[in-house]
A and B are shown apart, each in its own frame.
Chain A
Amino acid sequence: MSVTKLPEAEALLEKLIAQMRPAAGPDLALVGIHTGGVWLAERLHAALGLAIPLGSIDVSFYRDDYGSRGLRPGAKSSSLSFDVDGAHIVIVDDVLYTGRTLRAAVNELFDYGRPGCIELAVLVDRGGRELPISARYCAHVLAKPLPPQQELVLAKSAEGRLSLTLKDRVDA
């Protein structure tokens, strides 16, 4: 197996902050996807000095593989304390892959209201899309898509430092 050189997550986050800065303003709402996306969204929210409270969603209840794989343990509560109707929302996730998580996230947001627009910010695009979804803000695109048996995950240290790790999927 060839070793893919992984970029530094903290450096990518700086890049993402710079990309999003022009859009930052009183009307911008961030919604992180559990769990990695929430960590990123917390950092982005602070760095961009946003006023609308940070939202978080867990897409477990909207996944398209519930029928084949069942309810996943460890689902968290979604929390959106701002008015979704008409809001300019940027969904934040760590890794963009098939796009199925984003499909679920968009469906879930519409159960809270009718957003004005929804965009997507991710740290890494690993390729392998199965749905017509792309990121408006993306800090890094892998030169070669990762094979399906590999999983790219964001980790957070006790000090809050973010890092990317590559591992073999246990459930592939």
Chain B
Amino acid sequence: MRNLQLNSHGELQHLLTIEGLSREMLIAILDAAAPFTEVAEREVKKLPLLRGKSVFNLFFEPSTRTRTTFEIAAKRLSADVINLNIDASSTSKGETLLDTVDNLAAMQADMFVVRHGSSGAPHLIAEHLLATGSDHIHVVNAGDGRHAHPTQGLLDMYTIRNYKKDFTGLTVAIVGDILHSRVARSQIHALTTLGVPEVRVIGPKTLLPTSVERLGVRVFHDMREGLRGVDVVMMLRLQNERMQGALLPSPQEFFKSYGLTLEKLALAKPDAIVMHPGPMNRGIEIDSAVADGPHAVILPQVTFGIAVRMAVMSMLAGG
């Protein structure tokens, strides 16, 4: 795939995936996000950066949290936000998607935030915009199929840096349904690019992609073994709605082996942080005692997510 994400000056034009972005670019995004966190504490929680811009949230797949945080981020930047929830099942793929894009381009859209069930849909849109001379419109991938969820990966990196300061001495474990998780892919690319020396993935064989090791991670099937001495535990949501066939015996069985409990967390470093992209399945991948406990930074992740999305949108829309 050609890297459509950067313009001829090496600046971010679209955010489609973390894969292929340099460490410098990831650090630049994290640095840019920091001052946006303060805006939420002001009397007027609004900056004028995207004043007069139209941001379209194109959600071909249901999402509450991601769509809401993108909407808040765009509104805090003074953009006009239009939410389109498009039921993908009632439309034929490809042509209809691009027809939609053409129509919105004709409405003078400035940015598309795209969530789609098919991997590569945001990339397809970015290519189409280039081909039709509408590449002044920026595309942000808000999750595509099993491929990528780059702003989630970035907000996770922001969260880790906030609590651990430096990436280069960390051991990070990603736990659960790696196979169906675009979040995990974005996390792995971000962590390895930022120089985390040990990234572990923990899950049953049936929920790990084949040859996941090639991404530069260590594989563990025993959660207790995998959690030993880690600085960061990144839990994943068990993707019930994506599950086809019997990849695992039962949610209860999964919890027993791969659910994060206080007892298992005790094997990690005493100051380990626990993250989760939400929404959580309590009692399936994470125990409430952990989710609500002192190691959890799950709600700060949500708050940081708004700042990171504001930073990404500001970097794309300016200049």
- What residues make up the interface of A, taking CB atoms closer than 8 Å to B? 58, 60-62, 66-71, 73-79, 84, 107, 110-113
Q: Which residues of B contact A84 (CB under 8 A)?
A: 43
- The 8 Å CB contact of B48, one of A58, A61, A68, A113, is A61
Q: Is the CB of B31 within 8 A of A111?
A: no
CB contact under 8 A between A71 and B314, given known A77-B35, A79-B38:
yes
Does A111 lie within 8 Å of B42, measured CB to CB? yes
The answer to whether A112 and B42 touch across the interface, beta carbons within 8 angstroms, is yes
- Residues facing A in B26-52 (CB within 8 A) are 28, 31-32, 34-35, 37-39, 42-44, 46-49
| Contact B46 A75, beta carbon cutoff 8 Å | no
Beta-carbon nearest neighbor of B28 in chain A: A73
Contact of B49 among A61, A68, A78 (CB under 8 A): A61
User: Could you tell me how many residues of chain B have their Cβ less than 8 Å away from some Cβ of chain A?
Assistant: 21
Supply 19 A–B pairs (Cβ within 8 Å), ascending by A. A60-B35, A61-B39, A62-B48, A66-B319, A67-B318, A70-B11, A70-B319, A71-B315, A71-B318, A73-B32, A74-B31, A77-B34, A77-B37, A111-B42, A111-B46, A112-B42, A112-B43, A112-B44, A113-B43
Q: Which A residues are in CB contact (< 8 Å) with B34?
A: 77
- Kindly provide the distance from the CB of B301 to the nearest chain A CB, expressed in whole angstroms: 19
Bits for B12-37, please: 1 = Cβ < 8 Å to A, else 0.
00000000000000001001101101
B32 CB contact (under 8 Å) in A68, A75, A107: A75
* Interface residue SS majority, chain A: loop
- Once A and B bind, how many residue pairs between them come within 8 Å at the CB atom? 55
Please list the 10 inter-chain residue pairs (A to B) with the smallest Cβ-Cβ separation, ordered nearest first.
A70-B319, A70-B318, A111-B44, A77-B35, A61-B47, A77-B38, A71-B314, A71-B318, A75-B35, A66-B318
Closest partner residue, chain A, to B36 (CB atom): A61
Additional pairs, 16, CB under 8 Å, beyond known A67-B319, A111-B43, A112-B44:
A61-B35, A61-B39, A62-B47, A66-B318, A67-B318, A69-B318, A71-B32, A71-B49, A71-B315, A71-B318, A73-B31, A75-B35, A107-B48, A111-B44, A111-B46, A113-B43
Q: B60-88: which residues lie under 8 A (CB-CB) from chain A?
A: none
Kindly provide the distance from the CB of A68 to the nearest chain B CB, expressed in whole angstroms: 7
Q: Which residues of B contact A111 (CB under 8 A)?
A: 42-44, 46
B-chain residues with CB within 8 Å of residue A60 when the two chains form the complex: 35
Which residues of B have CB within 8 Å of A67? 318-319
Determine the residue in chain B with the shortest Cβ distance to A61: B47
